[in-house]
Amino acid sequence: MRRLLAIVVMAMAAMISSSSAWEHWGGDAGGTRFSPLSQITPGNVTRLVEAWRFHTGDLIARPPALMRRSKFEATPLLVDGNLIFCTPFNEVVALNPATGRERWRTDPGISADFKPGNRWVCRGVTHWRDERAEANAACASRIVMGTNDARVIALDAKTGERCAGFGQHGEVRLDPGMPLDYAGEFQVTSPPVVARDTIVIGSAIADNRRVDAPRGIVRAFDARSGEPRWTWDPLVHDGIDAGHANVWAPMSVDAERGLVFLPTSSPSPDFYGGRRPGDNAHANSVVALKVETGEVAWAFQIVYHDVWDYDVPAQPTLARIDIGDGARDVVIQGTKTGFVFVLDRDTGKPVWPVEERPVPQSGAPGERLSPTQPFPTHVPPLFSQHLDLDKPFGVTFWDRNACAEQLKTGRYDGLFTPPSTQGTLLFPMTGGGVNWGGVAYDPVRQIMFANTSRAVHRVTLIPRAQAQNYKPPSGTDFGPQRGAPFAMTRTLVASPLGMPCNPPPWGAMVAVDLKAGKILWESKVGTTEDIAPFGIALKTGTPLLSGVLATAGGVIFTGAMDAYLRAFDAASGKELWQGRLPVPGVANPMTYAIDGEQYVVIGAGGHSESGTSIGDSVVAFRLAREGEAPSWWSRYVDRPGGRLRAGSVAGGALFVLLLIGIVQIRRARRMG
* C-alpha–C-alpha distance, residues 540 and 498, integer Å: 13
* Largest Cα–Cα separation, the chain: 86
List alpha helices for 147-223, DSSP H.
Answer: none
Q: State in Å, rounded, how far the first CA of the chain is from the last one.
A: 85
Give Cα separations from 471 to 410, 488, 494 (angstroms).
20, 12, 20
What is the structure's pLDDT at 325? 81
CA proximity to 590, closest of 569, 626, 620: 620
Cβ neighbours of residue 530 closer than 8 Å, sequence gap 6 or more: 561, 562, 563, 584, 612, 613
Beta-strand pair 296-301/372-376: unpaired
What is the structure's pLDDT at 659? 52
Average pLDDT on 400-428 reads 97
Q: Which residue segments constitute the domains of the chain, with CATH numbers given?
A: 74-191 (2.40.10.480)
Q: How far out from the chain centre does Cα 290 lie?
A: 25
* C-alpha–C-alpha distance, residues 215 and 174, integer Å: 13
pLDDT higher than threshold 60 for residue 638: no
* C-alpha–C-alpha distance, residues 357 and 371, integer Å: 8
List alpha helices for 128-167, DSSP H.
Answer: none
CB 50 within 8 A of CB 619: yes
CA-angle at 35, arms to 325 and 286, nearest 5° = 55
What is the structure's pLDDT at 611? 87
Residue 430 DSSP symbol? T
Name the strand (E) or helix (H) holding 155. strand 151-156
Half-sphere exposure of 188 (CA within 13 A, CB side): 31
pLDDT higher than threshold 80 for residue 532: no
Average pLDDT on 632-651 reads 44
Q: Residues 567-612: pLDDT tens digits?
A: 999 999 999 999 999 999 999 999 999 999 999 999 999 999 988 9
Three-state DSSP class for residue 78: strand
What is the structure's pLDDT at 281? 94
Q: Which residues are catalytic?
A: 309
Buried b (16+ CB within 10 A) or exposed e, 549-563: bbbbbbbbbbbbbbb
Three-state DSSP class for residue 357: strand
What count of other Cβ atoms lies within 10 Å of the Cβ of residue 523?
20
Buried b (16+ CB within 10 A) or exposed e, 23-39: bbbbbbbbbbbbbbbbb
CB 508 within 8 A of CB 545: no
Cβ neighbours of residue 135 closer than 8 Å, sequence gap 6 or more: none
Cα pseudo-dihedral 623, 628, 634, 636, rounded to 10: 110
What is the structure's pLDDT at 263? 98
Cα pseudo-dihedral 72, 73, 77, 83, rounded to 10: 20
pLDDT higher than threshold 80 for residue 107: yes
- Rg over alpha carbons for the chain, rounded to the nearest Å, is 24
* C-alpha–C-alpha distance, residues 412 and 422, integer Å: 10
Three-state DSSP class for residue 272: coil
What is the structure's pLDDT at 641? 33
What count of other Cβ atoms lies within 10 Å of the Cβ of residue 137?
11
pLDDT higher than threshold 90 for residue 245: yes
Q: Which of 17-31, 209-223, 262-276, 488-502 has the lowest mean pLDDT?
A: 17-31
Amino acid letter, residue 473? P
Name the strand (E) or helix (H) holding 146. strand 141-146
Q: Which of 63-77, 228-242, 403-417, 568-582 has the lowest mean pLDDT?
A: 228-242
